[in-house]
Homo-oligomer: A and B are copies of this chain.
Amino acid sequence: MSKETMSRRDALRIGALGTVGVAMLTASNAMAAAPTEKDVKFDEEYDVIVIGTGFAGLAAAAKAAERGYKVLILEKMGRVGGNSVINGGGMAVPNSSWQKKYGIEDSGEMFIKDCLKAGLGINHVELLETIVKRSQDALDFSIKCGAKWQDVKPAWFGGHSAPRSLVTDNMSGSGVIKPMHEFVEKLPGCKIMTRTKMDDFVMSADGTSVVGVTARINYRFDPKLLSDDVENKTGEKKVYKAKKGVVLASGGFSMDKVFRKIQDPRLVEDMDATNHDGATAGALLKAFQIGALPVHIDWIQQGPWASPDERGFGVAPLLTQQGLFKFGVAVDVRNGKRFMNEMADRKTRADAEYVILREAPKMYPVAIGTYNTFEEQIYPIIEKGLAAGGVMKKFDTLDALAANYKIPADALKATVKKYNEDVKNGVEDEFKKQTLKGESLKELKGGDPIDMKGPFYAIRLVPKPHHTMGGLKINTKAQVISANTNKPIPGLFAAGEVTGGTHGASRLGSCAIADCLVCGLVAGENI
């Protein structure tokens, strides 16, 4: 039997026998449909299989395991946590008990309105309503799992019309992932396998339901490949049964050099993103092949708070979001002037930066502030920013700062002076930088937001692919909807960035944790 003539079913029958002929299998299986349970022999059997170990995957696994299910969690990378573990640790909880504690008025309607505004009105409102209904539960569940959140007034993230975001104690998603990972590992019948890549779904004999997955153990992701999902042949084939179903929580595809470029040809192969290397579309694309519906697949959010002077997410986002953007300014180096509302939604700000970068490539705009510009909880990060390969620079005077970035110094000084005055006087500035429910920036921060005595801190800015809004269509029970029935695919749930619709054209900051934990929890409850 040659490789060419071997059928998919033959191939899978061989596959179930062990690791013989793995390379051949992988090649032959490359374009075949998902196998059915008749085509495979299961190596192991579980109640629930979860793909991915980010917020969504761990929440789903924890909830399912807590319900007494035997759960297998597959993670293709060598470490647990996907993008979640390098996330900034902010979680929007609209109309929460924490807001009430700090006297902040909010409502589910306000939250949905904010999301629809940023999302250009194409958001799936029923999924936003699910976040409104369940984000307090999801927060409480994370705390039950051991996550620690700063017990301070909720933070105000860009595009939100109220301060409604909690931040983990360590200002990182790892503050949720690590305890949740430990929680899951302690639960009986819960097993995490890293370096295990899901290859495909296994369908019921009639092709209608998901009953398991094929996977490879001892797989090694290779970031040097153009398309790891297609080209990587490492590992040994295994077939796992999922009696209750599969939860797909495989994340987004901001690092998928092929698929992201198909959606936006401007995202060239070597373009950096804030994501970990493994953020590719492979599992999502397999879901489309069993009938999952693609939603909003071309909306790729670019983080406007990233730096060209470090790889990946880095430390710049925290320093800008909780400091230089919030109370400082971002200026166009060509004229020393502000060019955007530094607290607008991500798309608005990334677009504003692109206007400059298209006119003058590499003339990265610069975010500027002083020590007091930063939120107190961010102070420990300042040294990291100054240390980490020069992401943030420190200057004694605005003249020195201007000279370094070739900004017209007088224009820059005038910009900072006017900004300070506007804040002091509670005047709405030219870009209508947001104020909190009528409070002016002045009331948030005493004195000049940028201390003219210096020293001055500066970070160069570049938008980086950060979050893929698109994905597969789910309902409010986290069930994946089939193109063939317009009803749920039995046995298939999905949660987190692999799904689409919730955030429409642009996700607001701190809505990822909310979305992932809520839908993960919901999937774990409903499976």
What residues make up the interface of A, taking CB atoms closer than 8 Å to B? 4-8, 11, 28, 30-34, 36, 38, 121-125, 203, 205-209, 226-227, 230, 258-259, 262-266, 281, 285, 288-291, 293-299, 470, 473, 482-486, 489, 501
Q: A7-B206, A8-B206, A289-B288 are in contact. Are A485 and B30 (CB under 8 A)?
A: yes
Known: A7-B205, A33-B290, A206-B32. A122 touches B263 (CB 8 A): yes
A203 to B7, CA, bound (A): 11
Chain B residues with Cβ below 8 Å from A470 are: 297-298
B208 and A259 contact, CB distance less than 8 A = no
Chain B residue contacts of A297, Cβ below 8 A? 294-298, 470
**A131, chain B: closest CB distance, angstroms:** 16
The residue of chain B having its C-beta at the shortest distance from the C-beta of A354 within the complex is B121
B32 touches A262 (CB 8 A): no
Asked if A486 contacts B227 (CB within 8 A), the reply is: yes
Are A262 and B473 interface neighbours, CB within 8 A? yes
CB distance from A507 to the nearest CB of B (A): 15
Q: In the complex, what residues of B have CB within 8 A of residue A209's CB? A: 31
Cα distance A227–B297 in the bound complex, in angstroms: 22
A-B contact pairs, 7 of them (CB 8 A): A31-B209, A31-B489, A122-B264, A125-B265, A230-B485, A285-B293, A289-B291
- Bound-state CA distance A174–B206 (Å) is 44
A291 and B31 contacting across the interface, CB-CB below 8 Å: yes
- Tell me, in angstroms, the Cα distance from A354 to B92 when the chains sit together: 31
Please tell me if the beta carbons of B293 and A482 are within 8 angstroms of each other in the complex: no
**Chain B residues within an 8 Å CB radius of A482:** 31
Residues of B within 8 A of A208 (CB): 30-32
Q: A123-B265, A288-B288 are in contact. List 10 more A-B contacts (CB 8 A).
A: A7-B38, A7-B207, A32-B208, A122-B298, A227-B486, A262-B473, A262-B501, A285-B293, A297-B298, A298-B470
Kindly provide the distance from the CB of A214 to the nearest chain B CB, expressed in whole angstroms: 13
Q: Are A265 and B122 in contact (CB under 8 A)?
A: yes
- Kindly provide the distance from the CB of A518 to the nearest chain B CB, expressed in whole angstroms: 19
Interchain nearest-CB distance for A325 vs B (Å): 25
B294 pairs with A484, CB closer than 8 A: no
Given contacts A208-B30, A259-B293, A298-B295, contact A288 B483 (CB under 8 A): yes
A38: chain B residues at CB < 8 Å are 7
Q: In the bound complex, how far is the Cα of B290 from the Cα of A65, in angstroms?
A: 34
State the oligomeric state as a number of copies. 2
Partner of A206, one of B4, B205, B265, B299: B4
**CB contact between A7 and one of B36, B230, B264, B501 (< 8 Å): that residue:** B36
Q: Assess whether B298 is in contact with A296, with CB atoms less than 8 Å apart.
A: yes
Known contacts A7-B36, A288-B294; is A124 also within 8 Å of B483 by CB? no
Contacts A5-B206, A6-B206, A265-B124: A34 and B33 contacting too (C-beta < 8 A)?
yes
Assembly CA distance A226 to B484 (angstroms):
13
What residues of chain B lie closer than 8 Å to A125, measured between beta carbons? Answer: 265
Q: A368 → chain B, closest Cβ, in Å?
A: 29
Give the distance to chain B from A474, nearest Cβ to Cβ, in Å: 11
Q: A455 CA to B191 CA in the complex, in Å?
A: 79
Q: 8 closest Cβ contacts across the A-B interface?
A: A32-B207, A33-B33, A285-B483, A31-B208, A294-B294, A8-B207, A31-B484, A288-B288
> Does B28 lie within 8 Å of A206, measured CB to CB?
yes
- Closest Cβ neighbor of A264 among chain B residues: B122
Contact yes or no, A230 B263, CB < 8 A? no
- Residue on B nearest A261 in the bound complex, by CB: B124
B residues near A265, Cβ cutoff 8 Å:
122-125
> In the complex, what residues of B have CB within 8 A of residue A281's CB?
483
Closest chain B residue to A259 by CB distance? B293
What CA separation (Å) do A252 and B298 show in the bound complex?
Answer: 17
- When distances are taken between beta carbons in the complex, the residues of chain B under 8 Å from A4 are 206
| Bound complex: CA A296 to CA B501 (Å) | 14
A296 CB contacts on chain B under 8 angstroms: 263, 297-298
Contacts of A5 in B (CB 8 A): 205-206
Min Cβ gap A217→B in Å is: 21
Residue from the set A290, A298, A501 with the largest chain B CB neighbour count within 10 Å: A298
* Closest beta carbon of chain B to A338's beta carbon, Å: 25
Complex CA distance for A482 and B209, rounded to whole angstroms:
23
- Min C-beta distance of A22 to chain B, whole Å: 17
Looking at the assembled complex, report how far the CB atom of A205 sits from the nearest CB atom of chain B, in whole angstroms.
5
Contacts of A263 in B (CB 8 A): 122, 295-296
